[in-house]
């Protein structure tokens, strides 16, 4: 049995391969010039009639490609006339070709994450370090007008996390999110689903400092402050995030979709389910939307229950 026949038999595809052309070996061929070469003109056509042999056929195609590459490398040294069907068989010897295929299939080298960036540093902070860093943060212009930062409040092992926009005047004075009339309404909303501030709930804002005159935060202010919220979420690992108001929803979900269209659907932030509802301050002005807010809380409760939650 010829070397070629033995090789194809090993691959289990001896009956499926047809050499279109197998040029004769010229007399002037130097054997050393052919070693390890495949004949690029000796194209191999695989006829896949048997599903069980598909893998073997694919491997042979890969081997032929590897051999072709070797031809390219060797062309500078060996004359094209030296290629032959016999050289093809030599090149397709299973052991070295398998090694090359294995190298070709190795995943790319992972790109090392830059651990020195501001975000990467914040992402490693524990609760105490995070709170301290926020307290002294001057990383955006909002630090100029604040009375104090508003870090967030509540149970740090909570399953529910509520996220609002930014501190208002009262929050800036008291250092706690959602105080005043809007805060009272939020407490009532929480009570309606069996929750209480500080018990299985953590409340925070996207921004930790009050924008002057309660203006909308600028994109760069959000970009600077969001890593703090992201770290809070990573530390708490809540089963559900309820986002309060258009601005917080659009910032967290990175969208410009109106809140009316974001409501009623379960979104995702870093793999955590997110339910969007109205800001309590808006509900104080728009009583007609309180029924919709109740629907949102019912959806949140359902999502929370589905997440296998305790309370």
Smallest separation, CB 273 to ligand SF4 (Å): 26
Nearer to ligand SF4, 137 or 233 (CB): 137
Torsion angle, CA of 201/207/211/217, rounded to 10 degrees? -120
Using CA atoms, how far apart are residues 56 and 254, in angstroms rounded to an integer? 48
Using CA atoms, how far apart are residues 46 and 63, in angstroms rounded to an integer? 13
DSSP reduced 3-state for 172: helix
Per CB under 6 A, residues contacting ligand SF4 are 134, 137-140, 142-143, 149, 207-209, 221, 224-225
Smallest separation, CB 151 to ligand SF4 (Å): 9
Token digits of residue 309:
């939650």
Nearer to ligand SF4, 254 or 285 (CB): 254
Nearer to ligand SF4, 66 or 134 (CB): 134
Smallest separation, CB 237 to ligand SF4 (Å): 22
Phi, psi values for residue 44, rounded to 5°: -105, 130
Token digits of residue 286:
């728009």
Smallest separation, CB 161 to ligand SF4 (Å): 18
Q: How far is CA 163 from the centre of its chain?
A: 22
Nearer to ligand SF4, 94 or 212 (CB): 212
Using CA atoms, how far apart are residues 146 and 150, in angstroms rounded to an integer? 10
Nearer to ligand SF4, 131 or 289 (CB): 131
Query: Residue 234: beta bridge partners?
Result: none
Smallest separation, CB 234 to ligand SF4 (Å): 17
């Amino acid at each position: 049995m010829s070397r070629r026949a033995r090789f194809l038999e090993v691959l289990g595809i001896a009956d499926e391969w047809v050499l279109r052309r197998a040029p004769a070996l010229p007399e002037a061929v130097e054997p050393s010039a052919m070693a390890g070469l495949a004949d690029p003109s000796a194209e191999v056509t695989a006829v896949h009639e048997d599903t069980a042999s598909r893998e073997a056929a694919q491997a042979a195609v890969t081997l032929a490609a590897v051999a072709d590459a070797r031809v390219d490398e060797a062309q500078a040294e060996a004359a094209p006339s030296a290629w032959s069907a016999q050289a093809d068989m030599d090149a397709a010897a299973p052991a070295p070709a398998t090694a090359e295929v294995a190298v070709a299939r190795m995943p790319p080298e992972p790109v090392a994450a830059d651990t020195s960036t501001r975000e990467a540093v914040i992402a490693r902070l524990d609760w105490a370090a995070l709170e301290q860093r926020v307290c002294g943060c001057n990383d955006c212009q909002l630090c100029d007008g604040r009375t104090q930062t508003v870090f967030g409040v509540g149970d740090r092992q909570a399953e529910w996390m509520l996220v609002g926009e930014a501190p208002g005047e009262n929050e800036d004075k008291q250092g706690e999110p959602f105080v005043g009339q809007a805060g009272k309404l939020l407490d009532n909303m929480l009570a309606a689903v069996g929750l209480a501030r500080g018990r299985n709930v953590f409340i925070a804002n996207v921004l930790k400092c009050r924008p002057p005159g309660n203006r909308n935060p600028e994109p760069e202010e959000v970009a600077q402050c969001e890593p703090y919220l992201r770290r809070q979420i990573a530390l708490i690992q809540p089963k559900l995030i309820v986002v309060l108001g258009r601005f917080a929803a659009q910032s967290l979900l990175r969208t410009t979709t109106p809140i009316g269209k974001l409501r009623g659907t379960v979104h995702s932030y870093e793999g955590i389910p997110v339910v969007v509802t109205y800001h309590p301050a808006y509900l104080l002005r728009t009583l007609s939307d309180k029924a919709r807010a109740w629907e949102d809380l019912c959806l949140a409760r359902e999502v929370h229950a589905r997440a296998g939650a305790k309370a």
